[in-house]
A and B are shown apart, each in its own frame.
Chain A
Protein backbone atom coordinates (compact mmCIF):
# COMPACT_ATOMS: atom_id res chain seq x y z
CA UNK A 1 0.00 0.00 0.00
CA UNK A 2 1.59 3.24 -1.20
CA UNK A 3 -0.53 5.45 1.02
CA UNK A 4 -2.06 7.21 -1.98
CA UNK A 5 -5.81 6.64 -2.25
CA UNK A 6 -7.81 6.97 -5.42
CA UNK A 7 -11.56 6.71 -5.80
CA UNK A 8 -13.45 5.26 -7.46
CA UNK A 9 -11.51 2.18 -8.58
CA UNK A 10 -13.74 1.62 -11.56
CA UNK A 11 -16.03 3.95 -13.47
CA UNK A 12 -18.22 3.23 -16.46
CA UNK A 13 -19.97 6.12 -18.14
CA UNK A 14 -21.40 7.18 -21.46
CA UNK A 15 -19.93 9.46 -24.08
CA UNK A 16 -20.61 13.13 -23.47
CA UNK A 17 -20.77 12.72 -19.71
CA UNK A 18 -18.62 14.31 -17.01
CA UNK A 19 -16.80 12.49 -14.22
CA UNK A 20 -14.63 13.43 -11.26
CA UNK A 21 -11.72 11.32 -10.07
CA UNK A 22 -10.43 11.83 -6.58
CA UNK A 23 -6.98 11.42 -5.06
CA UNK A 24 -5.76 11.63 -1.49
CA UNK A 25 -1.97 11.88 -1.33
CA UNK A 26 0.27 10.30 1.28
CA UNK A 27 0.30 12.11 4.58
CA UNK A 28 2.76 15.00 4.35
CA UNK A 29 3.12 14.96 0.57
CA UNK A 30 2.52 18.35 -1.01
CA UNK A 31 2.89 17.35 -4.67
CA UNK A 32 0.18 15.56 -6.61
CA UNK A 33 0.62 14.35 -10.18
CA UNK A 34 -2.00 12.96 -12.55
CA UNK A 35 -1.14 10.47 -15.28
CA UNK A 36 -3.18 8.76 -17.97
CA UNK A 37 -2.36 5.26 -19.16
CA UNK A 38 -4.23 3.94 -22.18
CA UNK A 39 -4.10 0.30 -23.23
CA UNK A 40 -0.53 -0.69 -24.07
CA UNK A 41 0.58 2.91 -23.74
CA UNK A 42 3.05 4.51 -21.41
CA UNK A 43 2.13 6.79 -18.57
CA UNK A 44 1.26 10.20 -20.01
CA UNK A 45 1.77 13.12 -17.65
CA UNK A 46 -1.30 15.32 -17.35
CA UNK A 47 -0.77 17.87 -14.59
CA UNK A 48 1.13 18.61 -11.38
CA UNK A 49 -0.06 20.48 -8.32
CA UNK A 50 2.04 21.59 -5.39
CA UNK A 51 0.45 22.79 -2.18
CA UNK A 52 -2.72 23.85 -3.95
CA UNK A 53 -1.18 25.52 -6.97
CA UNK A 54 -0.81 24.24 -10.51
CA UNK A 55 2.88 23.83 -11.30
CA UNK A 56 3.18 22.00 -14.58
CA UNK A 57 0.92 20.89 -17.39
CA UNK A 58 1.51 18.06 -19.78
CA UNK A 59 -0.65 16.65 -22.54
CA UNK A 60 -3.92 17.49 -20.84
CA UNK A 61 -6.93 18.14 -23.01
CA UNK A 62 -8.97 21.31 -22.57
CA UNK A 63 -11.92 19.08 -21.63
CA UNK A 64 -9.95 17.97 -18.57
CA UNK A 65 -9.24 20.07 -15.51
CA UNK A 66 -7.88 19.48 -12.05
CA UNK A 67 -7.50 21.16 -8.72
CA UNK A 68 -5.84 20.57 -5.37
CA UNK A 69 -7.73 21.58 -2.28
CA UNK A 70 -6.43 23.06 1.00
CA UNK A 71 -6.42 19.60 2.60
CA UNK A 72 -4.14 18.57 -0.33
CA UNK A 73 -6.50 16.08 -1.91
CA UNK A 74 -6.93 16.51 -5.63
CA UNK A 75 -9.66 15.99 -8.17
CA UNK A 76 -9.40 15.42 -11.89
CA UNK A 77 -12.48 16.44 -13.85
CA UNK A 78 -13.09 14.92 -17.25
CA UNK A 79 -15.92 16.34 -19.35
CA UNK A 80 -17.54 15.72 -22.73
CA UNK A 81 -16.13 12.22 -22.51
CA UNK A 82 -15.15 10.37 -25.65
CA UNK A 83 -14.48 6.68 -26.24
CA UNK A 84 -10.78 7.46 -26.49
CA UNK A 85 -10.73 8.75 -22.92
CA UNK A 86 -11.08 5.18 -21.66
CA UNK A 87 -7.90 4.55 -19.71
CA UNK A 88 -6.35 4.05 -16.31
CA UNK A 89 -5.89 7.34 -14.51
CA UNK A 90 -3.19 7.36 -11.87
CA UNK A 91 -2.48 9.87 -9.20
CA UNK A 92 0.95 10.03 -7.59
CA UNK A 93 2.28 12.07 -4.72
CA UNK A 94 5.66 13.08 -3.44
CA UNK A 95 6.99 15.20 -0.65
CA UNK A 96 8.21 17.81 -3.09
CA UNK A 97 10.61 17.74 -5.96
CA UNK A 98 13.38 15.73 -4.40
CA UNK A 99 12.03 12.24 -3.96
CA UNK A 100 10.25 9.46 -5.76
CA UNK A 101 6.58 9.59 -6.53
CA UNK A 102 4.22 7.04 -4.99
CA UNK A 103 1.29 5.94 -7.09
CA UNK A 104 -2.28 5.22 -6.16
CA UNK A 105 -4.03 2.11 -7.46
CA UNK A 106 -5.63 4.08 -10.26
CA UNK A 107 -9.14 4.64 -11.54
CA UNK A 108 -10.14 2.56 -14.53
CA UNK A 109 -12.44 4.69 -16.65
CA UNK A 110 -14.50 3.04 -19.36
CA UNK A 111 -16.46 5.27 -21.71
CA UNK A 112 -19.19 3.45 -23.63
Chain B
Protein backbone atom coordinates (compact mmCIF):
# COMPACT_ATOMS: atom_id res chain seq x y z
CA UNK B 1 0.00 0.00 0.00
CA UNK B 2 0.87 3.66 -0.01
CA UNK B 3 1.35 6.06 2.91
CA UNK B 4 1.64 9.72 2.02
CA UNK B 5 2.32 12.55 4.46
CA UNK B 6 1.92 16.28 3.94
CA UNK B 7 1.58 19.17 6.37
CA UNK B 8 -2.06 19.97 7.04
CA UNK B 9 -1.87 23.73 6.74
CA UNK B 10 0.60 26.45 5.73
CA UNK B 11 0.43 30.22 5.60
CA UNK B 12 2.54 32.48 3.41
CA UNK B 13 2.59 36.10 2.30
CA UNK B 14 1.69 37.39 -1.14
CA UNK B 15 4.81 37.67 -3.29
CA UNK B 16 6.77 35.21 -1.18
CA UNK B 17 8.00 31.68 -1.91
CA UNK B 18 6.55 28.62 -0.20
CA UNK B 19 7.67 24.99 -0.22
CA UNK B 20 5.15 22.22 0.44
CA UNK B 21 6.72 18.90 1.36
CA UNK B 22 5.44 15.40 0.74
CA UNK B 23 6.93 12.16 1.99
CA UNK B 24 5.76 8.74 0.98
CA UNK B 25 6.30 5.11 1.85
CA UNK B 26 5.09 2.86 -0.89
CA UNK B 27 5.08 -0.75 -1.93
CA UNK B 28 5.76 0.43 -5.46
CA UNK B 29 6.31 3.71 -7.27
CA UNK B 30 5.56 4.89 -10.76
CA UNK B 31 5.55 8.65 -10.50
CA UNK B 32 4.41 11.46 -8.25
CA UNK B 33 1.84 14.09 -9.08
CA UNK B 34 0.89 17.42 -7.58
CA UNK B 35 -2.63 18.74 -7.92
CA UNK B 36 -4.21 22.02 -6.83
CA UNK B 37 -7.73 22.00 -5.45
CA UNK B 38 -9.79 25.04 -4.55
CA UNK B 39 -12.50 24.38 -2.00
CA UNK B 40 -15.41 22.47 -3.49
CA UNK B 41 -13.81 22.29 -6.91
CA UNK B 42 -12.06 19.65 -8.96
CA UNK B 43 -8.36 18.96 -8.49
CA UNK B 44 -6.31 20.35 -11.36
CA UNK B 45 -3.00 18.92 -12.48
CA UNK B 46 0.13 20.91 -11.64
CA UNK B 47 3.16 18.70 -12.13
CA UNK B 48 4.51 15.20 -12.56
CA UNK B 49 7.86 13.71 -11.53
CA UNK B 50 9.01 10.19 -12.23
CA UNK B 51 12.78 10.73 -12.21
CA UNK B 52 14.84 12.44 -9.51
CA UNK B 53 15.32 16.15 -9.85
CA UNK B 54 13.50 19.38 -10.37
CA UNK B 55 10.73 20.06 -12.87
CA UNK B 56 9.96 23.73 -13.43
CA UNK B 57 6.75 25.08 -14.89
CA UNK B 58 6.32 28.81 -14.58
CA UNK B 59 5.85 29.88 -10.97
CA UNK B 60 5.57 26.26 -9.86
CA UNK B 61 8.38 23.72 -9.52
CA UNK B 62 8.36 20.19 -8.19
CA UNK B 63 11.26 18.12 -6.90
CA UNK B 64 11.56 14.38 -6.39
CA UNK B 65 14.04 12.16 -4.56
CA UNK B 66 13.01 8.54 -4.97
CA UNK B 67 15.69 7.22 -2.62
CA UNK B 68 14.36 9.44 0.17
CA UNK B 69 10.68 9.02 -0.66
CA UNK B 70 10.42 12.80 -0.75
CA UNK B 71 8.98 15.47 -2.97
CA UNK B 72 8.25 19.14 -2.66
CA UNK B 73 6.21 21.67 -4.55
CA UNK B 74 7.70 25.16 -4.73
CA UNK B 75 5.44 28.11 -5.42
CA UNK B 76 7.10 31.43 -6.25
CA UNK B 77 5.69 34.97 -6.37
CA UNK B 78 2.65 33.88 -4.45
CA UNK B 79 -0.69 35.35 -5.43
CA UNK B 80 -3.92 35.42 -3.47
CA UNK B 81 -5.46 33.02 -5.98
CA UNK B 82 -2.88 30.42 -4.93
CA UNK B 83 -4.82 29.93 -1.70
CA UNK B 84 -5.96 26.34 -2.13
CA UNK B 85 -5.21 22.78 -1.11
CA UNK B 86 -2.22 21.11 -2.71
CA UNK B 87 -2.47 17.36 -3.10
CA UNK B 88 0.48 15.03 -3.45
CA UNK B 89 -0.36 11.75 -5.20
CA UNK B 90 1.71 8.65 -5.90
CA UNK B 91 0.99 6.38 -8.81
CA UNK B 92 1.19 2.65 -8.35
CA UNK B 93 3.27 0.64 -10.75
CA UNK B 94 1.02 -0.48 -13.55
CA UNK B 95 -0.41 -3.97 -13.47
CA UNK B 96 -1.68 -4.53 -16.95
CA UNK B 97 -3.73 -1.48 -17.67
CA UNK B 98 -4.46 -0.67 -14.03
CA UNK B 99 -2.60 2.19 -12.48
CA UNK B 100 -4.24 4.29 -9.79
CA UNK B 101 -3.24 7.42 -7.95
CA UNK B 102 -3.15 7.42 -4.16
CA UNK B 103 -3.59 10.89 -2.71
CA UNK B 104 -2.33 12.46 0.47
CA UNK B 105 -4.82 14.43 2.54
CA UNK B 106 -3.51 17.67 1.08
CA UNK B 107 -1.91 20.84 2.39
CA UNK B 108 -4.19 23.83 2.78
CA UNK B 109 -2.25 26.96 1.82
CA UNK B 110 -3.45 30.36 2.92
CA UNK B 111 -1.87 33.34 1.16
CA UNK B 112 -2.13 36.58 3.12
CA UNK B 113 -1.44 40.21 2.29
The residue from A30, A55, A103 contacting B42, defined by CB atoms under 8 A apart: A103
Please tell me the number of chain B residues within 8 Å of chain A, measured between CB atoms: 25
| Interface size bracket, A side | 20 to 34
Give the tally of cross-chain contacts (CB within 8 A): 63
The residue from A4, A51, A58, A96 contacting B100, defined by CB atoms under 8 A apart: A58
In the assembled complex, which residues on chain A have CB atoms less than 8 Å from the CB atom of B106? Answer: 42
In the assembled complex, which residues on chain B have CB atoms less than 8 Å from the CB atom of A88? Answer: 40
Residues of B within 8 A of A (CB): 33, 35, 40-45, 48, 87, 89, 92, 94-106
Kindly state whether residue A64 has any CB partner on chain B within 8 Å: no
In the assembled complex, which residues on chain B have CB atoms less than 8 Å from the CB atom of A50? Answer: 97-98
Contact status of A103 and B43, CB under 8 A, knowing A48-B98, A56-B98: yes
- Report the nearest A residue to B41, measured CB to CB: A105
In the assembled complex, which residues on chain B have CB atoms less than 8 Å from the CB atom of A41? Answer: 105
